[in-house]
Amino acid sequence: MSEKPLVLLSAGGTGGHLFPAEALANALKRLGLRVALATDHRAGALAGSFPADEIVQIAAATPSGGSPLQIAKAAVLLGFGFLQASRALRKLRPAAVVGFGGYPTVPPLAAASILRIPTIIHEQNGVMGRANRFLARRVSAIATGFPEVKSIPAGVSARIVHTGNPVRPAVLAAAQMPYPAALRGGKLRLLVFGGSQGARIMSDIVPAAIERLPKELLAQLVVTQQAREEDVLRVRTAYSRIIHQAEVQPFFKDLPRRIAESHLVVSRSGASTVAELAVIGRPSILVPLPGALDQDQAANAQSLADIGAAIIVPQGELTPERLASEIRSRIEEPARLTAAAKAAKSAGLSDAAERLAALVLHLARIPLPEGKPPEA
């Protein structure tokens, strides 16, 4: 009996890249394929739970920004990564290679294109990232998380397929939970998180905003907030003076379930966050990460704002007074929350992983197993 085909997935070492790769890995596994993961040293514990038959660590670095010496060092590391990737590809002999962004994907995808292995890049954001832009003209297909993506190089439109952003099984499970009734006088659950680059501003602003709400509204609030380890104590202390029910932790393993239990989410607008808010169907106040070269989080947030599922508050406008006003208006008009939740749900693609898996099988010329209809 011949060995099952193998697909190599490549992702930068952050959750934003690894989570959609994990979702695709699970979809490919369900179709009977083997999966390998190529990533960099940053993946750490995240890669440890990845459903891969083999994990390959590839040297990589970001060549943009910094001094000329740092750029030169990054180029050398990427060159070394290319050699590592070439050896790994000859050993693994994958049927296809799929990249999820970040510079660690450049060596495997570049090596695969030279070896004439079918290649796909998946762009999660509303603005194509620099690594994916570098690879866009070299790959067989470009899958996108959003229907419209900015900064895609010219001449590649025929290779673009909108699949949506794959989400993890925990998100699909949470999506089965109906939106909790937000009735006047009842409890209203507020979830706050900001990711590794955003939790500080949330810790600074959100408790101060909650403190500015009328006392009768404070009695309704149940707050769950992610804060950086060094901020946890001060945020807990702040809430202890304001409301009776608040949970503050540096990390929530069950974040999709907590999103589903919430009436309103205040967060950054990374691609995975936006996809999860849509698939689960929850209203949000989004604060895009400022200063990014590509302004990808602003584009991601706009996709939900355009349909009434979210409101965007730029970080420069995120004051306690502004945030308190936004939260208050939603508590006092529960129908707005319900309508926003419905709008978010309408934008969610719960089968994005299956759509992407179908594209992989098509390009790799791998027949679908019997009884498994194509999803894309």
The structural domains of the chain, with segments of one domain joined by +, span 6-166+351-364, 172-346
Determine contact, residues 331/217, Cβ cutoff 8 Å. Answer: yes
What CATH topology corresponds to 6-166+351-364?
Rossmann fold (3.40.50)
pLDDT band at 32 (very low <50, low <70, confident <90, very high): very high
Q: For residue 333, give the nearest of 311, 356, 300, 355 by alpha carbon.
A: 311
When pLDDT is averaged across residues 320-325 and rounded to a whole number, the result is 98
Separation CA 29–CA 53 (nearest Å) = 10
**What backbone torsions phi and psi does residue 85 show, to the nearest 5 degrees?**
-65, -40
**Which pLDDT belongs to residue 197?**
53
pLDDT band at 198 (very low <50, low <70, confident <90, very high): low
Determine contact, residues 227/211, Cβ cutoff 8 Å. Answer: no
pLDDT per residue as tens digits for the range 75-88: 777 787 889 999 99
Domain 6-166+351-364 and domain 172-346 have a common topology: yes
**Which pLDDT belongs to residue 336?**
92
Both structure tokens of 126: 């509303």
Q: Please, is 181 exposed, middle or buried when counting C-beta atoms within 10 Å of its C-beta (0-12, 13-18, 19+)?
A: exposed
Task: Give percent of the chain above pLDDT 90.
Answer: 73
Q: Output 74 or 247, whichever has higher pLDDT.
A: 247
The model's pTM? 0.89
**Which pLDDT belongs to residue 232?**
94
Separation CA 10–CA 104 (nearest Å) = 7
pLDDT band at 1 (very low <50, low <70, confident <90, very high): very low
When pLDDT is averaged across residues 36-62 and rounded to a whole number, the result is 78
pLDDT band at 72 (very low <50, low <70, confident <90, very high): confident
Which DSSP category does 127 fall into? B
CATH number assigned to the domain with residue range 172-346, chosen from the 4 options 3.40.50.11740, 1.20.1560.10, 3.40.50.2000, 1.10.3720.10 = 3.40.50.2000
